[in-house]
Structure 1
Amino acid sequence: MKLNPVALKEWASVIDVLLEGDQILLMRKGGIEEETRRFELKSRSFYLFPTYEHQRAHLIKDPYQSFVERSLSEFDAGAAHVKLTAYAEATDDLEVRDFAQLELLYPYHMWTGNLAEERLKWKAKQPLHILLLRVYKLEEPVLIEALPEYGGCRSWIELPAVKDDIRLNPVLSEESFEEKRVRIKSILGQ
């Protein structure tokens, strides 16, 4: 399968939870260094690029804190390569603008209520994007060179050409994914 050579940066622990199938959503407002100063869904399909800088166990609900601890213990800031293990298709880009809607999503993500609330408050005039993702595990991880331009607080990065013969396995069956997707959309009135 030929995959789109673009990646969305996300905490390594969140990628691990997505790969477990425990959640299908991401919350995005956009990084400080975004060209447009707000989040845009630049591609409907993308790799998930692991980041480590901002993740902290106290920002995660208790059952998921071990994901943060494990990812931080495996992190090597001087590594020459980054290991990509996940690919995703964004089926929906929903917008949340108030705390009542945000609270309805609490059972469907790993973040504490405080962190979710802070994401909504930051750049308060802009909506919080809720991306619903169909996630795939790469049968074999892809190693890419860790380049300086991949750093910084921005959402998207362009990757070098990646081999064409990558095989993917969906994390959830189509039925399980659709069930979660419909549930989340319905509680948001979508």
Structure 2
Amino acid sequence: MKEWQVAVDALEKGETVMLLRKGGIREASGRFSVVHDRVLLYPTYEHQQPHLLKAEYASRVGPVTSGWHPDSIRIGSWADVTDTIQVSNGDRVADLMPFHIWNETFIQDRLKWKPNQPLYILLLKVYKLDSPQWIPYYSTYGGCKSWIDLVDAIALEGTPVLSEPEYHRVTAAIHTTVTGSF
């Protein structure tokens, strides 16, 4: 699954367990959907926008020119997508601010884009790979899409970033925030 490098970094550090998605422009049927429940986290750089991140994350993003990508990509983690929650209520999404890396501008932009489609909250149990892999960039990996198939397989072996009790505590708090109960 492709995601901003700053988000992948935050997931790998245990600073968040959440991604917010509406889908890339080239999604199948124009809508986001979870294609796999176990995914490698593929960091992207081109569309990262510091002004859409909380201040502590904005400083981690360096600007790149349109179409830029590194010659090789570091794959350092994988995740189980444990929950997918659809949210359309702006107040509920605003209540989630403590749980992710984006700022209010990002949230409002996501809610306004394709307003008839919900915002997807993905909760990820992240694992650091025992041995991070460097893979070559292929043009088929480019473009505004959430999901790509890697040319070479990578073994999903690693250590959980958060313990099971800690992961459950955080995800329970997110569920309570979104639904009012868990």
TM-score (norm 2): 0.91
Q: What residue in structure 2 maps to residue 3 of structure 1? A: none
Match for 1:180: what amino acid? V
Q: What residue in structure 1 maps to residue 28 of structure 2? A: 35
Secondary structure in structure 2 of the residue aligned to 1:42:
coil
Match for 1:152: what amino acid? G
Q: What residue in structure 1 maps to residue 166 of structure 2? A: 176
Conserved 8 A contact 1:25-1:132: yes
Conserved 8 A contact 2:85-2:120: yes
Q: What residue in structure 2 maps to residue 54 of structure 1? A: 47
Match for 1:168: what amino acid? G
TM-score (norm 1): 0.88
Inter-partner Cα distance in structure 2 for 1:89 and 1:147: 25
Inter-partner Cα distance in structure 2 for 1:152 and 1:169: 30
Match for 1:151: what amino acid? G
1:133 equivalent in alignment to 2:133: no
Secondary structure in structure 1 of the residue aligned to 2:29:
coil
Deviation at 1:16, TM superposition (A): 0.4
Inter-partner Cα distance in structure 2 for 1:82 and 1:144: 5
Conserved 8 A contact 2:80-2:125: yes
Deviation at 1:115, TM superposition (A): 0.5
Inter-partner Cα distance in structure 1 for 2:94 and 2:25: 25
Listed as ranges, the matches of 1:145-184 within 5 Å are: 145-164=136-155, 167-184=157-174
Deviation at 1:78, TM superposition (A): 5.9
Inter-partner Cα distance in structure 1 for 2:60 and 2:154: 29
Inter-partner Cα distance in structure 2 for 1:85 and 1:163: 10
Q: 2:103 aligned to 86, 107, 112, which one?
A: 112
Deviation at 1:163, TM superposition (A): 4.5
Q: CA offsets per residue over residues 61-109 of structure 1, 9 Å max, x none?
A: 112223224xx58xxx464321111101110000111111111111111
Q: CA offsets per residue over residues 126-185 of structure 1, 9 Å max, x none?
A: 110000000111121112221101111011001123254x53111101111000000000
Inter-partner Cα distance in structure 2 for 1:90 and 1:78: 26
Conserved 8 A contact 2:26-2:143: yes
